[in-house]
A and B are shown apart, each in its own frame.
Chain A
């Protein structure tokens, strides 16, 4: 398929997944604050930090108030990662590949965009965005379902899946990080009931609470980290996402799994091995935040590798030469 089309399909899918995860970030924060002991400070700054866009936020908003953070993350058209911007970008990408995706996918994504667009125009939306956030999550799920059910599981579908899984792995790592940033401010609460409640909130925001309960019963920091990072069956766990992303990457390139032809395949394989042979105790011992930070870096490298291999096909030298020649004639 066309490189440009692969690029658009991949990013369409990433942006839909990103919108959902931004909604999840905000929900985890709401949950954390609702459960916080009376008199505890409202914490909105950590949320901005986890998204990685804090520089832009600080510059344009200053201190992190609830209203400001919600505006920044949900409807701010200048923040390229706000839910609104994600949908706009997903739709723009979809528009350039309407002939590749199914009509059902386009129809749904367009309705989804119109819904968020209408919400962004509602002046009171930030007073209680919970319903919108729920709708965003649902609409993203629907999009994934429609994609799986109406699009041939060929190359374009694999690019969709690759984008979605990489994005989700990255965002699950950041949801785990929210807890880290909050812990920074409340070290004395480790091991308390409040701490358990916080971990439960993290699980809930990854829709993982019930599945975790079935597997582990008791909530423990170790158990939650292991479940969200290393589980091979839970669809939002980082390990699960990366294995699926790797499969799609190899389905696209045709290279057997376990070998590599392109740098992106090498990086992806190494990342999967790292996680496959990691233990949760080692991760915590070395510092969870540091591990997640490194993981996010490697994910970015994989993304850059995919870009170079599939999206940015270089013009052959001899064609460049002939073009130059004819232009100077």
Chain B
């Protein structure tokens, strides 16, 4: 299979330059793919899909016949990021997380940023992710947002923008790890010739970070991952991460609070828990503190947390920083706390709560992407250029009724990566979600989840709306020090095919 018929059109293509030649970073890959015997790539694609199905890396299809499970579609052509570009992304993400952590801490303490008039007070108090219960609270080691998945996109101008911060329970990192596993077994040759930075130590880094949060007098802390259970669409990821970290995967019913400590029910009686990596939203964590009807959480958990007897990651209340309206203020937040210019810019954003901007949005609905502040997964949004006049008008009414709840952004021409479609390559739009851990220091996983909109022309990459994923190769700097291991390949010799 070759790229001979492949056209870049007027998009930014991650693999081919404007002249139609492969970018330097992608040369080895393109050569390797073109050298494969005809049909081989499609065979490998099928092998990858079979492997994913048999490994049970599937999600339940709601509303379909019982027992229908689908894999999260996976495309073999990876996205490649050069060492130089990654260096900048990494720096930008560290800056952003550093500032957001200071912001959250300020919000639940003195609220200096509001008093200084940088962020308006009413925007804060109307945010549904603001938790009054957290006021005055100091989380272990002063960290709020331990695990973040920040969505990045590249526009036609070649510039990388931050599209969204996900600071609550960002998911998808298991696909990063599994996709890499599959790619290594299918393309051992490419891995041994290209210098691709490894991602496999993520679970270790995650565990280290979580242990760092434990109360200091505990020599060997017990860390657990709290899941809503097997019917959650991200359940696979929860069990995968627990397995890879070597920690217990618990449900709310496994835990209880006894004398101010969290314990779990075991075959040998009750055992103490020191750190909880929770994959349950704030609202469901503790029926005594948040939603009283929650069946998923643990009654009394917040009391144990506030007594300093257990650590929670991410800290309750963190969601305030990924509110879509707060997002618009992040460049100002960075400037305010760090006195630095933001390294990775935001997508230009119109805040409907501000009257001038609201009027602009209402007049230009058909050119903009309008988003509800507290929705995710591609729901509650309007893609103006792809919508009818009626849809735009209807959405405009919703915005007028509650302007605080909406922001708008120009429609970005997301960059594309060649993707296998019916036996040949076509360009498909992608975004990129790197994962950042904030513990003793801030760690950015060199890689990330590249999501791809598989429908022709579509810009919606969410898995619930026909998106798939790709492996993301961050190339190593050739002059890196020796201890920066390069993923040469773990496949046994002779496994080549």
Contact = CB atoms under 8 A, between A and B. Distances in A.
B37 interface: no
- Chain A's interface: helix, strand, loop or mixed, by majority? helix
The 7 A-B residue pairs whose C-beta atoms are closest, nearest first, are: A99-B243, A99-B242, A98-B239, A313-B265, A3-B265, A310-B267, A110-B56
A98 B56 CA distance: 10
A4 interface: yes
Given A3-B265, A106-B56, 11 more contacts: A2-B265, A3-B267, A6-B267, A92-B230, A96-B229, A96-B230, A98-B239, A99-B239, A107-B55, A313-B269, A319-B258
B251 A4 contact: yes
B250 interface: yes
Range of interface residues on A (Cβ < 8 Å): 20 to 34
26 contacts: A2-B250, A4-B251, A5-B248, A88-B67, A95-B235, A96-B229, A96-B230, A98-B239, A98-B243, A99-B240, A99-B242, A103-B243, A106-B55, A110-B54, A110-B55, A111-B54, A114-B53, A114-B54, A313-B265, A318-B258, A319-B256, A319-B257, A319-B258, A322-B300, A323-B300, A327-B288
Contacts of B264: 2
B70 to A, nearest CB: 13
- Chain B's interface: helix, strand, loop or mixed, by majority? mixed
A76 interface: no
Interface in B213-254: 229-230, 235, 239-240, 242-243, 247-251, 253-254
Most buried by A among B53, B235, B266: B266
Interface in B335-376: none
A110 B266 CA distance: 27
A103 B251 CA distance: 21
A1 B266 contact: yes
B299 interface: yes
B137 interface: no
Interface string B406-421: 0000000000000000
Contacts of B239: 95-96, 98-99
Given A98-B239, A316-B258, A2 B266 contact: yes
Given A2-B254, A4-B265, A114-B54, A98 B270 contact: no
A53 interface: no
Interface string A137-156: 00000000000000000010
A51 interface: no
Interface of A: 1-6, 88, 92, 95-96, 98-100, 103, 106-107, 110-111, 114, 117, 155, 252, 310-311, 313, 315-316, 318-319, 322-323, 326-327
Nearest to A3: B265
Contacts of B247: 99
Interface of B: 53-56, 67, 229-230, 235, 239-240, 242-243, 247-251, 253-254, 256-258, 264-267, 269-270, 288, 299-300
A2 B256 CA distance: 13
Contacts of B54: 107, 110-111, 114
Contacts of A318: 258
Contacts of B299: 323, 326-327
A2 B53 contact: no
Contacts of A110: 54-56
Contacts of B269: 313
Contact of A315 (B229, B243, B251, B256): B256
A8 to B, nearest CB: 10
A106 B240 CA distance: 12
B254 A4 contact: yes
B39 to A, nearest CB: 25
A323 B258 CA distance: 10
A86 B53 CA distance: 20
A318 B263 CA distance: 14
Contacts of B240: 98-99
Contacts of A88: 67
Nearest to A113: B56
A121 to B, nearest CB: 9
Contacts of A327: 288, 299
Nearest to B227: A96
Nearest to B299: A323
A4 B461 CA distance: 36
B300 A4 contact: no
Nearest to B253: A4
A316 B230 CA distance: 27
B242 A313 contact: no
Contacts of A99: 239-240, 242-243, 247-249
Contacts of A111: 54
Contact of A326 (B229, B270, B288): B288
Contacts of B248: 1-2, 5, 99
A158 to B, nearest CB: 10
A2 B242 CA distance: 14
A26 B214 CA distance: 55
Given A98-B240, A99-B243, A313-B269, A3 B249 contact: no
Contacts of B229: 96
